[in-house]
Amino acid sequence: MSKVKFIDLGNIKYKKAWEYQEKLFNNTIKLKSENRKKEQKIQTENYLIFCEHPHVYTLGKSGDSNNLLVDEKFLKSRNAEFVKTNRGGDITYHGPGQIVGYPILDLDNFFTDIHKYLRFLEEAVILTLDEYGVKGERSNGETGVWIEKGTENARKICAIGVKTSRWVTMHGFAFNINSDLSYFGNIIPCGIVDKKVTSLEKELGIKINIETVKKQLKIHLSNVFEMDLVD
């Protein structure tokens, strides 16, 4: 069972969290590169970062900036930023009331299969939703976690977008708990025109204790990935 250091950064600006991820990510890749030249290998470290961001829209490297439906003046009026990033996927929103998870994992310590990695992230969220009586599902060809997928009322509750290099991961998932969903109205989320977005609060009709959800999600991530989470 691989050890994974858990870090909760609290409420932190997107760019600052991105820089923090990059540092851990690049250090791991550098160590892996150096290990190739050594007889005695040094074990790479793994991290799971949780945080919340102030209002921000992020666009993946293959995304379409036309999926941001408002201009800079409007963004300022909503205290929101727009950042082009190097993860996969299209445009999404991060803000208060959302659990953002950034696993910086060396998949050589787990399994070398990106498809499996994405499915495991989804599975941990699905299992967490199940604790609240909410049925989360996968949608073929659309990474993330959905509710009532395949119906006219299909809605996304968790977006996923990652970057990998030499089997090291960064970026991750955004799980809507008590999110202000009005912010999603300013974008075409993930570039998907005909689907809605939801939150755990909206599904249950009550404010949710986000710290409780974090604890449950940590347990499910730990079990699904067979990781030993250490604070």
* Rounded-to-integer distance, Cα 48 and Cα 51, Å: 10
* Rounded-to-integer distance, Cα 74 and Cα 228, Å: 44
190 catalytic? Reply is: yes
> In 10 A of CB 131, how many CB atoms?
13
List the catalytic residue out of 181, 190, 210, 221. 190
Phi, psi of 209 (to 5 degrees): -75, 105
Read out DSSP for 83-114?
EE-SSSSSEEEE-TTEEEEEEE-BGGGT-S-H
> In 10 A of CB 31, how many CB atoms?
16
* Rounded-to-integer distance, Cα 48 and Cα 70, Å: 33
Catalytically annotated residues: 190
